[in-house]
Amino acid sequence: MRKRKTCWDDSAARVEATVRGETPDRVPTLLLETEGMCARVSGISVHRMVEDPKLAAEATFEFASVTGADAFNYALIEWPGSVWELMTLARANGIPESEVAKPLDYEVYYPNEGAILRRIKDIEKLQIPDYERTPPWSKILEGKKILVEKIGGYAFLVPPIYPSMDTWVANVMGTERFYMAMRKEPELLKIAFKKAYEAQVALHKAYCNIVGNPPVLAIDPLFANKNMVSWKHWMEFVAPWFFKFLKEYHPDGLVTHNCGRSPYWEELITTMRREGLGATVIGINAACPWDVNWWVEFRKKFPDVLITGVTLDTSAVMIGPMDAVRKRAIEVVTKLKPYKRLMIGPVCQAGWNVPLSNLLVLTEVVEEYGRYY
Amino acid sequence: LLQKIKKVVEAIVEGMKVVGDKYERLEVFIPEILVISEAVMDVVRELEPRLRAAGVESEGKIVLGVVEGDIHDIGKTIVALVFKSMGWEVYDLGRDVPPSKFVEKAREVDADVVGLSGLMTQDIDPAFKTVLELRRAGARAKTIVGGVFANKEMQERVGADAFGVDPWDGVEKARKLIGKG
């Protein structure tokens, strides 16, 4: 029987060394998980996690303890592009929660995109919540505080995930209207991005007040994908507020998460460097491209960028046979380990349909192939 | 008049192929495709009844929807527009569609193809159930999956007949499935 993990001191040292570009004892694991995965492992329903911060903390701890992950995320994902943001916005703006979210017991609630803002022209009237007092965000921050006090901040390398300006705007006004507004109502869209910035600054301040300053931010420019919008449009609409936020509030490190099919990685990293961002650490948490050799070349080009999760996508590899996961993980570790600044894990939060054995095998691979000394 | 309408339709089909090529070459993106598709749909809505009234048959009938549990329907909406502009009769069931609704509609309209759209990992299970239900119900429709991560592996897991990497690829594969490709 697997030994349950109860102390994260070694993990914290391992993750911190990796983030700083030093040599850890071995490649750390970053096992991102969804609400559904935590519910499955702990037996605590998502509904109860939303209601009670202690239970959400317990469900997260249970997942981390069972898998032995070096780093993971809080069960109710702290992401402003999430359904939790829509529910908080609904409360602050007198919209029934039932209009913006479909509750589920053992899976993350489904958001109803566009329900917050039926008409784009009403964007100015949208009230920014008091995140410290408005649930579910207030309860999420409370639960996160419990876990950070128990385990330490470096276990949570990825969340909080902001700025996520583009996802926020798309969820608030609806993705189709978001895309159309780029061509048809660009001025209103720019106002929406200003509002996204204000909301995420307020959320960040609430996070720092309740949980404390995060060691690393995971930034999520989800629409910076070649199959979604042009780089020109992303730079015109999203980048001004995205970079403004990062310049004003970024801590030592940034991890860029993007689970899209063809992210503008090189453009993004180059622009961030030009903007003077990520001087300490920039991390990339991504599946695509799916060729490990692409990432080896990327690593040579950007030697100081932390790489996590590459090619271990949750849509194919992670839900497949364990042998395939093991084989891919070994390939990633053996090819990228020599360059350091590497963490292993699924690129995106593993849902209930990812077999637990496929997460556990990652911890075995790093023990076997990921040792530096 | 019919000849003139046919020429307009042919021009639309050609135009949409150009849009597809440009999307492939990263020269146009989703906002541009949506705006173009909106304009094309205005024309198609005008022409379609006249073509049917004149006895011109559609390329085929496709039932489309985002599988149960998923609300991301932007991709499916574009796929529906592209299929329509390419001369298909499209029955768009929207998003979060349970397997039973796919089956019901496919039988009602005697669909040639059922297209299942999904964005997330969790969509594989409901997509699999939908394909299974269609087979159990004896629907003759072929099945095709599409979405951000649609690939051969996903197609096989789901048990579908084909996958489309983008709307144009979807049309091409659907035509092949019904013996027109």
- Note the ipTM here: 0.83
Residue B77: predicted pLDDT: 80
A-chain CB neighbours of B150 within 8 Å are none
Burial of A200 (0-12, 13-18, 19+ CB in 10 A): buried
What average pLDDT does range A360-365 have in this prediction?
96
Residue A287: predicted pLDDT: 67
Q: In which band, very low, low, confident or very high, does the pLDDT at A249 lie, cut at 50, 70 and 90?
A: confident
Name which of B31, B71, B125 is nearest A233 (Cβ-Cβ): B31
CB contact, 8 Å: A319 with chain B? Answer: yes
Q: In which band, very low, low, confident or very high, does the pLDDT at A184 lie, cut at 50, 70 and 90?
A: very high
Range list of β-strands (E), chain A: 101-102, 110-111, 216-219, 253-258, 281-286, 305-308, 342-343
A1 CA: distance to closest CA in chain B (Å): 29
Lowest mean pLDDT among A240-244, A252-256, A308-312: A252-256
CB contact, 8 Å: A176 with chain B? Answer: yes
Residue B69: predicted pLDDT: 76
Helix/strand/coil for B113: strand
Cβ-defined contact of A315 to B71 (cutoff 8 Å): no
Name which of B74, B125, B149 is nearest A315 (Cβ-Cβ): B149
The pLDDT tens digits of the residues spanning B72-131 come to 677 788 888 888 888 899 999 988 899 999 999 999 999 999 999 876 666 778 899 999
Cβ-defined contact of B125 to A353 (cutoff 8 Å): yes
The pLDDT tens digits of the residues spanning B16-75 come to 888 888 988 889 998 998 898 888 888 888 888 887 787 778 889 999 998 887 766 777
Residue B148: predicted pLDDT: 65
Would the pLDDT of A281 be above 70?
no
What is the torsion angle, in degrees rounded to the nearest 10, for the CA atoms of residue A290, residue A292, residue A295 and residue A297? Answer: -130
CB contact, 8 Å: A20 with chain B? Answer: no
Q: Which of residues 45-104 of A touch B (CB under 8 A)?
A: none
What average pLDDT does range A235-264 have in this prediction?
82
Q: In which band, very low, low, confident or very high, does the pLDDT at A157 lie, cut at 50, 70 and 90?
A: low
What average pLDDT does range B142-159 have in this prediction?
83
- Specify whether the backbone of B26 is left (phi greater than 0), alpha (psi in -120 to 50) or beta: left
The gap from C-alpha B35 to its chain's centroid, in whole angstroms, comes to 18
Would the pLDDT of B161 be above 90?
yes
Cβ-defined contact of B148 to A314 (cutoff 8 Å): no
Chain B positions touching chain A (beta carbons under 8 Å): 26, 29-32, 34-35, 38, 69, 71-74, 77, 96, 120-122, 124-125, 148-149, 151, 153-154
Cβ–Cβ pairs < 8 A, chains A and B: 71
Cβ-defined contact of B31 to A107 (cutoff 8 Å): no
d(CA A258, CA A348): 8
Burial of A182 (0-12, 13-18, 19+ CB in 10 A): buried
B23 CA: distance to closest CA in chain A (Å): 8
Lowest mean pLDDT among A18-22, A65-69, A94-98, A209-213: A18-22
Nearest CA in chain A to B121: A315
Lowest mean pLDDT among A38-52, A131-145, B41-55: B41-55
Would the pLDDT of B1 be above 70?
no
Q: In which band, very low, low, confident or very high, does the pLDDT at A158 lie, cut at 50, 70 and 90?
A: low
Would the pLDDT of A94 be above 90?
yes
Name which of B34, B73, B154 is nearest A180 (Cβ-Cβ): B34
Q: Which residues contact A7 (CB under 8 A, 6 or more apart)?
A: none
d(CA A373, CA A22): 13
Nearest CA in chain B to A349: B121
Nearest CA in chain A to B95: A112
Residue B85: predicted pLDDT: 80
Cβ-defined contact of B31 to A183 (cutoff 8 Å): yes
Which CA distances in Å does B159 have to A198, A239, B66, B96, B180? Answer: 46, 41, 16, 20, 22
What average pLDDT does range A213-231 have in this prediction?
85
Whether pTM exceeds 0.90: no
Q: Best-predicted range by mean pLDDT among A142-146, B144-148, B154-158?
A: A142-146
Nearest CA in chain B to A181: B31
The residue ranking higher by pLDDT, A110 or A70, is A70
What average pLDDT does range A284-302 have in this prediction?
83
Would the pLDDT of A134 be above 70?
yes
Do the strands A110-111 and B61-66 form a parallel or antiparallel pair, or are they unpaired? unpaired
Over pLDDT 70: what percentage of chain A? Answer: 95
Residue A343: predicted pLDDT: 93
Residue A145: predicted pLDDT: 93
Residue A92: predicted pLDDT: 97
CB contact, 8 Å: A320 with chain B? Answer: yes
